[in-house]
Chain A
Amino acid sequence: AQKVTQAQTEISVVEKEDVTLDCVYETRDTTYYLFWYKQPPSGELVFLIRRNSFDEQNEISGRYSWNFQKSTSSFNFTITASQVVDSAVYFCALSDIAGGGADGLTFGKGTHLIIQP
């Protein structure tokens, strides 16, 4: 069985602060994908990034960066110089590769990020 844990239910920071969202996962699969999605108040889940289990290279995209550590089963997400528009619920998700995605995504419960002006 797969499980994704996002221990931080809500985080509130002041604009321009850096913030890290934690994600820990459990899976018996040897190959898998990890994802981060953003859900603004409008409700639509917006895809942010995907990582493969066999590629532990960290990634930076503008103000966003991701730290994937297979040894600790973690896939953390950092926003640098946060902005009010970053306020949303962020979800970490996991899917297997061998099954071809037939079981869909396993999501964490999400972290509600509040950026105060």
Chain B
Amino acid sequence: DTGVSQNPRHKITKRGQNVTFRCDPISEHNRLYWYRQTLGQGPEFLTYFQNEAQLEKSRLLSDRFSAERPKGSFSTLEIQRTEQGDSAMYLCASSSSGGAPEAFFGQGTRLTVV
């Protein structure tokens, strides 16, 4: 297993456009998390999946954001009508509920809204 994979690594979009990011977790991990990180800050929790169920959402996740994990494997994060304030690094992490609690992170998708 090569770890958590995120695509694309970079995305530049115009304000108002929709964007979608993909995360492929470590294959045996049933827990998946999305975080957002802005410059000079630590990652901030956005949402959590256990298998295909989205069990927790942060108040940071406005109604323009939606995340899915349809078969309990990969996940997508969509941002509709992007705003300049959405520019950030979006990080995905996975862990196992039956094993060690530490989460393993992907390299992130850096979004720039112009």
Contacts and interface: CB of A to CB of B under 8 A. Distances in A.
B17 to A, nearest CB: 23
A104 B107 contact: no
| Interface residue tally on A, bucketed by range | 20 to 34
B56 A102 contact: yes
A45 interface: yes
Interface residues of B, number: 29
Interface of B: 31, 33, 35, 40-45, 48, 50, 55-56, 58, 89, 91, 93, 95, 97, 100-108, 110
A35 B55 CA distance: 23
Nearest to B35: A104
Contacts of A101: 31, 48, 95, 97, 101, 103
Interface of A: 4, 33, 35, 37, 42-47, 50, 91, 93, 95, 97, 100-110
